[in-house]
Structure 1
Amino acid sequence: MPSNLRWLRMRPQELALIAITAVWGGTFLVVHIAMQHSGPWFFVGLRFTVAGLISMLIFHRSLRGMTWADLGAGASIGLMIYGGYGLQTLGLQTIDSSTSAFLTALYVPMVPFAQWIFFRKRPPAMAFVGAALAFAGLVLIAGPEAFSLSLGLGESVTLISTLPIVGEIILISVFAGRIDLGRITIVQLLTAGLLSFATMPVVGEGVPAFSWAWVAAGIGLGVSSCIIQLTMNWAQKSVSPSRATIIYSGEPVWAAIIGRIAGERLPAAALVGGMLVVLGILASELRIVRRPHPNTPDRG
């Protein structure tokens, strides 16, 4: 492949992340329906406990070699999943989807800076350009309503949810390649689920009345969550946090596409926003390379 087109090539790991991001974006309608029949912490607990049990069936042989390192890494990532998904679901009870999308999108430009601050690893310059383009696109997708923020409980908890989302992406990259894939997936999913159930009595949330709506949604999202986390753990062994974040920022784009199929009208601004997100993904692949001057001697 010519060198000037090499940046367009995507590895299997990146294609896998794009695929799970599409699945991720498609869960919005399911969660929206489930929230009409269940409280947020019970549903998040059900979702990730089911995902954890499925992962145990898949990786049951790995459990015999469980180490304290596996437990610590999985629990730390699980804590981030619990905080991110739990608070985001809690916020969606009182704010509309466009406002939630705009606030949650704040994690996109935060990841490169968090990586820089905590690990002294400066991302490539184009990673910041890609993050900026993706964030601008997400703002357009959210629509004008996103700028009318009153910062009530829903807005506040959604803003806070961006911090554990950043933490999850960074921690997965930190532990990827060092810890057994099956063990860390089991621990992080079960940690998120059990912590969510444990939160119910603290906030006064009871077990909802039986409904096939939350049962079906919980099992279905449990399966998808298992696939999503397993893929993230595998792919981020070789995909940087900044690059992965740009790909994950496509979640609202897929949600908008699925919403359109379901009958929702997609505004022109949202279409432009989707194009900007795609441009952000492509821009993040570019690398600025300084070519040596022809007269510069070769020091190799």
Structure 2
Amino acid sequence: MNRVQANLLLLVVALIWGSAFVAQSQGMAEVGPMLFTGVRFLIGALVVAPLAWLEWRGLARRERAPARRDGAKIAGLGVLMLLGAAMQQIGIVHTSVTNAGFLTALYVPLVPLLSWLLLRQLPHWSVWPGALACLVGAFLLSGAHELNIGVGDLWVIASAIPWAFHVLIVGRIADRMAAPFLVASGQFLVCGLLSLAWALAMEPVSLAGLQAAAGPIAYTGVLSVGVAFTAQVLAQRHAHASDAAIILSAETLFAAVFGYLLMGDRLSAAGLLGCGLILASLLVIQLLPLLNWRRRAVAAA
């Protein structure tokens, strides 16, 4: 898979996550946030489990089976997923959805910053204006023009940190292990089990609620987790983390599209401008590096 193919796959991931917004909104009306999170991530783990098993057997035949330290890294990814989801859900209880939608997008500029500070990887210069345009676009699209920071907002801001770390390192871990399906299913299992334990301890759990939310849970478990998060792991083996953060932020744009089509939501002029900025940031980080590469190729010839 080359860089362009990886970025296109990430765009498909963003589209799936955007469509899942409708299902998540419906499912959360029937069950608590951590129960919803736990069950859907366990379903995602089951979806990927057969591929993970085949991958494990292939690595074992080549005497490259994952070591204990690899298991610890996968568990760490699962914990990052749990922290991001939990803090975001706690914040949503105490703030508006519009505020939460904008503040979650703070992970976009965090990824290139962390990549520079921790990994000494300086992204292409186009990433910085692209990340800023994406953040402004998410702000306009969310409609959070009068943002008053409260306790809930602080929780959502905090959730951007584990999400940024996850985007930054998931591709590196999967690439070093040469085991994207093992990484994907392992992190889903850890996140699902911890979320379910949290739900059993802190939330009301009922079979009737799970049955009522079965459709949204199945949709998000199979597509949003099993397919999309696994595709993210596959793509980020070949895509720069900073590019991935901006491309995945298109989830906000796709959520607005599906909200328009399925929930009757309508965008204001500011919302349309926000969509345009997000789309422009996607094009900038895709096209400028390719143009520079072509110039170098022509000069070398």
Note the 1:48-67 alignment, pairs <5 A: 48-64=41-57, 65-67=65-67
Q: Deviations over 1:135-166 (max 9, x none)?
A: 111111011x35332413x3222111101100
One-letter amino acid of the structure 2 residue matched with residue 161 of structure 1 = S
The alpha-carbon deviation at position 90 of structure 1 amounts to: 3.0
- Partner in structure 2 of residue 21 of structure 1: 14
**Gaps in structure 2 of 5+ consecutive residues:** 58-64
**Aligned residue runs from structure 1 range 167-178, under 5 A:** 167-178=165-176
Counterparts of 1:218 and 1:87, CA distance in 2:
20
In the alignment, which residue of structure 2 is the partner of 1:236?
Answer: 236
Return the offset for 1:283.
1.5
Structure 1 CA distance for aligned equivalents of residues 161 and 104 of structure 2: 9
2:283 maps to 282
- Residues 85 and 161, structure 1, Cα contact 8 Å, conserved in 2: yes
Distance, in Å, in 2 between the alignment partners of 1:216 and 1:70 is 34
Q: CA RMSD in A?
A: 2.4
- Indicate conservation of the 8 Å contact 2:3/2:239, yes or no: no
Residue matched to 1:166: 164
State the SS of the aligned residue for 2:126.
Answer: helix
Report the equivalent of 2:111: 111
* Structure 2 counterparts to residues 59-78 of structure 1, below 5 A: 59-64=52-57, 65-78=65-78
Task: Report if aligned partners of 1:39, 1:208 keep a CA contact under 8 Å in 2.
Answer: no
Q: 1:20 to 1:213 in 2, by over 3 A?
A: farther
Which blocks of at least 5 consecutive residues in structure 1 are unaligned? 1-8, 293-297
Q: CA distance change for structure 1 residues 98 and 77 in 2, over 3 Å: closer, same or farther? A: same
**Using the alignment, how far apart are the partners of 2:145 and 2:106 within structure 1?**
12
- 2:32 is equivalent to residue 39 of structure 1: yes
1:221 positional shift: 0.8
Contact 1:81–1:165, Cα closer than 8 Å, also in 2 = yes
* Aligned positions of 1:211-222 closer than 5 A: 211=209, 212-222=211-221
- Contact 2:42–2:192 (CA<8 Å) still a contact in 1? yes
* Alignment of 1:273 onto 2:274: yes
2 CA distance for matches of 1:68 and 1:48?
23
Deviation at residue 272 of structure 1 after TM alignment: 0.7
Determine the C-alpha separation between the residues in 1 that align with 2:274 and 2:101: 12
State the percentage of identical aligned residues. 27
**Contact 2:133–2:277 at 8 Å: present in 1 too?**
yes
**Match of 2:102?**
102
Compute the displacement of 1:24 (Å): 0.4
Higher normalized helix content (fraction of residues): 2
Q: Distance in 2 between matches of 1:107 and 1:57?
A: 32
Q: Name 1:86's counterpart in structure 2.
A: 86
* 3-state SS in 1 of match to 2:93: coil
Number of the residue aligned with 2:205: 207
The residue aligned with 2:60 is: none
Residue-by-residue CA offset, 1:179-223 (whole Å, 9 max, x unaligned): 111211111110110111122355x22313513332222222110
Q: Say which is worse superposed, 215-224 or 92-101, in terms of deviation.
A: 92-101
- Normalization by structure 2: what TM-score? 0.87
Closer, same or farther: CA 240–218 of 1 in aligned 2, 3 Å: same
Aligned partner letter, 1:47:
R
Equivalent-residue separation in structure 2 for 1:23 and 1:213 (angstroms):
22
| Structure 1 counterpart of 2:176, one-letter code | R
User: Does the 8 Å contact 1:140/1:272 carry over to 2?
Assistant: yes
**Which one-letter code corresponds to 2:43 in the other structure?**
V
Shift, 1:129, TM fit: 1.2
Q: Distance in 1 between matches of 2:206 and 2:282?
A: 41
Distance 1:93 1:29, change over 3 A: farther
Q: State the SS of the aligned residue for 1:93.
A: helix
Alpha carbons of structure 1 residues 146 and 193: separation in structure 2 relative to 1, 3 Å: farther
Distance 2:3 2:72 in 1: 32
SS in 2 for 1:280: helix
